[in-house]
Amino acid sequence: MATTTVTTAIELESHSDNVARTTAAAVYNTNNNYSTGRREDDEVMRASLAADSEVPDGGYGWVVIFACALLCFWFVGTTYCWGVFQAALVEQGVGSASTLAFVGSLTTSCISFMAVLNARVVRKLGTQLSGLLGISLFGIGEVMAGFTTGNVVGLFMTIGLVMGLGTSLLFMVVSVTPAQYFKAKRGIANGIVFAGGGLGGAIISFVTNGLLQALGIAWAFRVLGFITLATGLPAAYLIKERVPIRPTSFVEWRLFRDYRFILIFLGGALATFPLFVPPFFLPLYTNSLNMTPSAGAGLVAAFNFSSAIGRLLCGFSSDRIGPLNTVFSSLLLSALSALVLWPVSSSLGPLIVFVIVNGMANGGFFATMPTVVGNVFGSARVSVAMGMVVTGWGGGYLLGAPIAGYLLNTGGGEKGGIDAFHPAIYYAGSMALGSASLMLMARLGIDRRLTQRV
């Protein structure tokens, strides 16, 4: 992946060994880079400090952040709008909610299943070429989907696989590139990037609903695909590495000897199961309340807009109170909103409150995780560590929403009223609560003082 983080610890240490050695102990505490006491880990942390000491915290980095945010606008925003397409496809009898949820889940699960390989691809091609390839696959896949709207297998191939491959490359590019340009402002930089996805989801939800009503499902896919290519390709061209990319290993197995990594790995894996349940199923939920399709699309848009705000706020929060404190708080809020607010939301007013709270909490997870990994395990290994962490998200990405769909079908399906949704809702809330518990354990493992920035 195209960041300073892909250089090895020894290479970075030889670059500015004296600076890193003399400042390591102090900066471990002030910048939340935490040593485990093992010699090899201390070398990586010293290397991270050496690299971070040269980060400009601005300059051309803001251009890169804007470009990454625009890419997120499309690949994250479109993914979060799958529920709008799903409701239209269910209404036309193309497939059941549980089957079509698998299509959207396959798109996101490619992020995990391809993470380690994509780390190698990005290091080989660089961020610019990887971004261009990723957005090309994403846009072309969406255009191709317009020719397969009556065929579930075709949707799996175009949206699930082609768009999924593009999504996985783009996610790697935008997740690790900001670390090349930002250290002190790394949290807000990542927040801005992923806020682009929330804003994209809000806007694309309305656009998709309008296109579906005016042009139908097929042309809605095609129009969005062409616009994605027209705007995404120039954005990808603007993304450049700050320093030359050096090769590194696919996987750093010794990270699994660090209990903090295991807890963060498992917490992230568990968190991805519930995160796509609200945006995928809100349109069907509103249908069960006899609301219009526009109401469902509007709630998805509100969810995504709230997600954008949450990503920005969590970016600021990461720089202020620490990324682990922030990601724990966001997951806890996600769990409580699903367990307390959603089950009693039987009219538009309570639903709006739920989507605002849950959307803000949902967005915080994605915006904060790259900062968590970089700060806790060192920027000199964030590309490898992030690839490993994201690989663990595969089960949740692929099965999280479909499990909710099967629970919905068991309860009577989308025609069974809002009570049929309760098993899926409680499942989502419980998974988020379990993830929050694991993140809290990781946070306390670093520092038991609750007022400490971690």
pLDDT, one tens digit per residue, over 44-54 is 556 556 555 56
Identity (one letter) of the amino acid at 39? R
Residues 402 and 105: beta-carbon distance below 8 Å:
yes
CA angle 224, 306, 338 (to 5 degrees): 110
pLDDT of residue 95: 86
Low-confidence stretches of the chain (pLDDT < 50) are: 1-32, 37, 39
Residues 200 and 74: beta-carbon distance below 8 Å:
yes
The Cα-based distances of 169 to 65, 162, 222, 335, 424 in angstroms read 17, 11, 21, 29, 30
HSE toward the beta carbon, residue 44, CA cutoff 13 A: 28
Secondary structure (DSSP) of 145-195: HTT-TT-HHHHIIIIIIIHHHHHHHHHHHHHHTHHHH-STTHHHHHHHHHH
Interval 158-171: pLDDT, tens:
999 999 999 999 99
Taking the domain 4-12+31-446, which CATH number applies?
1.20.1250.20
Contacts of 375 (CB under 8 A, 6+ apart): 31, 32, 33, 34, 186, 322, 323
pLDDT of residue 246: 58
pLDDT of residue 276: 87
pLDDT of residue 185: 83
The residue ranges of every structural domain in the chain are 4-12+31-446
Q: How far apart are CA 170 and CA 231, in angstroms?
A: 14
The Cα-based distances of 275 to 88, 97, 270, 347, 387 in angstroms read 21, 17, 10, 22, 19
Q: How far apart are CA 213 and CA 338, in angstroms?
A: 30
pLDDT of residue 179: 78
Q: How far apart are CA 96 and CA 383, in angstroms?
A: 38
pLDDT of residue 248: 61
pLDDT of residue 118: 86
pLDDT of residue 324: 93
Identify which of 424, 394, 415 has the alpha carbon closest to the alpha carbon of residue 87.
Answer: 415
Cβ-based neighbour number of residue 250 at 10 Å: 12
pLDDT of residue 7: 32
pTM of the model: 0.77
pLDDT of residue 41: 53
Residue 453 tokens read as 């920035």
